[in-house]
């Protein structure tokens, strides 16, 4: 069984968690998953971005939700 890496962003703190998914069960950017955030120390509704570098470079972060997530990531990186 093959796996791919995918990244999710915590909507509360902007922390990025990497998980593995089985190929064929990959989710699109914007998928929401309940996942434990070790920064918040709780399960949060994390936003799937697949690949943070590609996500940040992508110019089609058009919808409001993606813009918010992008801002969170950038703010966290600057800390
Ligand atoms: Zn968090």
Domain range summary for the chain, segments of one domain joined by +: 3-77
Per-residue confidence (pLDDT) for residue 76, from 0 to 100? 85
pLDDT in tens, 1-41: 799 999 999 999 999 999 999 998 889 999 999 999 999 99
Residues with CB under 5 A from ligand 1 (ion): 10, 12-13, 15, 37, 39-40
- pTM for the complete prediction? 0.88
User: Rounded distance, CA 8 to CA 33, Å?
Assistant: 8
| HSE-CB of 27 using CA atoms within 13 angstroms | 15
What separation in Å is there between the alpha carbon of 13 and the centre of ligand 1?
4
Per-residue confidence (pLDDT) for residue 61, from 0 to 100? 61
The candidate with the shortest Cα–Cα distance to 43, out of 6, 5, 3, 15, is 15
């Amino acid at each position: 069984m093959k796996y791919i890496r995918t990244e999710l962003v915590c909507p509360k703190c902007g922390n990025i968690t990497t998980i593995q998914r089985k190929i064929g069960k990959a989710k699109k950017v914007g998928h929401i998953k309940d996942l434990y955030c070790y920064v918040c120390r709780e399960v949060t509704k994390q936003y799937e971005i697949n690949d943070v570098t590609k996500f940040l470079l992508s110019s089609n972060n058009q919808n409001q939700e993606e813009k918010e997530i992008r801002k969170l990531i950038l703010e966290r990186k600057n800390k």
